[in-house]
């Protein structure tokens, strides 16, 4: 996670974290088919922004690794403990959860992000080489080889392979790579917003079709982001965001969105805890979709604001609020 506070970056972070909460509160079934294609860009956008804000040269790569990795690893460990203790206080299970990112599903993002940070010098070398086009096929090949067999058969072919796939950066490579090559002007900037917007709308159709096919096959995660159709839509969304960042056209003076963007990492870490708590109450099951999203988001933002006002700067960094 980078710490850039530009308002347009914060707005994009806010949009991305709202999409994350929408994903995690989305009901199963056909709702996944119709709603997820419009919000599946969420994680891809975060990784794109991280790549976009990464330079191609640093005086010390070790300082770069230390700054970015420690910023996320300490919160990761703390939230692994929180989520593990909230379900099962077994210390052996806690250790396993830390290693496998299994304390709760959404924490996979941290090891994925750390992999990208550590691989950044190699990714930059690839992006600046004559073989840069290899970078565009890494995610599609990874999805086809490791995700699609399980997605379409519903069977775990190999438990260890499945676990490695869940936390592999290869499935998400396109977004970080796209951020680096666009953010550092490695590829052409001649990308017309109107054309990209039209392609983006068209790309949603195959995503809906694939989601419906998976739904008919009985896949519980028919709306997953880890589909090639989702990869296409999310990539186009990131390119559209890039156009806005370059043109500086995002002048949204909305205090709420800026606040959500400011606390986006903290919201990402804590929102599932509120979701777990509310699911214990019968009334929550009757709250319509999107309203339940707003409730979870509001509680998460409120927690972040309270922590920001009562905890020290060091503690805020440890728990990922700042």
**Tens digits of residue pLDDT in 103-149:** 898 999 999 999 999 999 999 999 999 999 999 999 999 999 988 98
DSSP 242-303: HHHHHHT------HHHHHHHHTHHHHHHHHHHHHHHHTTSGGGGGSPTTHHHHHHHHHHHHH
For residues 3 and 46, give the distance between their C-alpha atoms in angstroms, rounded to a whole number: 12
Q: What is the pLDDT of residues 52-73, one digit of tens each?
A: 999 999 989 999 999 999 999 9
Determine, yes or no, domain membership for 61.
yes
DSSP 90-157: -HHHHHHHHHHT-SSGGGGHHHHHHHHHHHHHHHHHHHTSTTGGGGGTHHHHHIIIIIHHHHHH---S
pLDDT at residue number 250: 61
Instruction: Establish if 52 belongs to a structural domain.
Output: yes
Give the pLDDT confidence score for residue 190 in this predicted structure: 65
pLDDT in tens, 154-195: 777 666 667 677 789 999 999 999 999 999 999 876 667 788
pLDDT digits (tens, 9 = 90+) for 245-278: 987 666 667 889 999 999 999 999 999 999 999 9
In a domain, 38, yes or no: yes
- How many domains does the chain fold into? 1
- Which residue reads 């205090």 in tokens? 255
pLDDT of residue 2: 57
Q: Which domain holds residue 44?
A: 7-15+27-251
275 in a domain, yes or no? no
Mean pLDDT across the stretch 314-320? 95
In a domain, 88, yes or no: yes
Q: What is the DSSP letter of 28?
A: S
| Residue closest to 321 by CA, chosen among 144, 55, 22, 79 | 79
Please indicate, yes or no, if residue 150 is contained in any of the structural domains.
yes
Q: Are 23 and 40 in contact (CB under 8 A)?
A: yes
Average pLDDT over residues 298-314: 96
Q: Do the beta carbons of residue 235 and residue 44 sit within 8 Å?
A: yes
pLDDT for 4 beyond 60: no
Q: Does residue 192 belong to any structural domain of this protein?
A: yes
Three-class SS state of 175: helix
Q: What is the pTM of this model?
A: 0.94
DSSP structural state of residue 62: H
Assess if residue 262 is contained within a domain: no
Sequence-ordered list of residues with C-beta below 8 angstroms from that of 6, at least 6 positions apart, any chain: none
């Amino acid at each position: 996670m980078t710490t850039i506070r530009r308002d347009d970056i914060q707005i994009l972070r806010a949009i991305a974290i709202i999409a994350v909460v929408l994903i995690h509160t989305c009901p199963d079934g056909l709702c996944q088919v119709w709603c997820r294609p419009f919000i599946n860009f969420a994680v891809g956008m975060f990784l794109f922004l991280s790549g976009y804000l990464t330079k191609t040269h640093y005086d010390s790569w070790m300082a770069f690794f230390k700054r970015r990795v420690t910023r996320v690893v300490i919160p990761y460990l703390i939230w692994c403990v929180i989520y593990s203790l909230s379900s099962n206080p077994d210390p052996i299970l806690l250790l396993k959860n830390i290693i496998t990112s299994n304390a709760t599903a959404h924490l996979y993002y941290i090891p994925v992000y750390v992999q990208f940070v550590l691989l950044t010098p190699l990714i930059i070398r690839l992006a600046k080489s004559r073989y840069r086009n290899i970078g565009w096929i890494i995610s599609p090949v990874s999805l086809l080889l490791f995700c699609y067999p399980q997605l379409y058969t519903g069977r775990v072919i190999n438990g260890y392979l499945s676990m490695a796939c869940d936390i592999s950066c290869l499935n998400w490579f396109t977004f970080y790579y796209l951020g680096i090559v666009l953010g550092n002007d490695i590829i052409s900037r001649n990308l017309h917003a109107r054309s990209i917007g039209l392609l983006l709308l068209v790309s949603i159709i195959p995503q809906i079709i694939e989601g419906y096919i998976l739904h008919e096959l009985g896949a519980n995660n028919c709306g997953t982001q880890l589909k090639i159709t989702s990869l296409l839509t999310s990539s186009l969304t990131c390119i559209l965001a890039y156009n806005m960042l370059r043109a500086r056209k995002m002048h949204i003076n909305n205090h709420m969105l800026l606040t959500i963007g400011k606390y986006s990492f903290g919201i990402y870490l804590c929102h599932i805890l509120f979701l777990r708590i509310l699911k214990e109450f019968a009334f929550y099951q009757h709250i319509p979709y999107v309203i339940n999203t707003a409730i979870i988001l509001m509680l998460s933002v409120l927690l972040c604001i309270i922590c920001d006002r009562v905890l020290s700067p060091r503690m805020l960094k440890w728990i990922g609020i700042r």
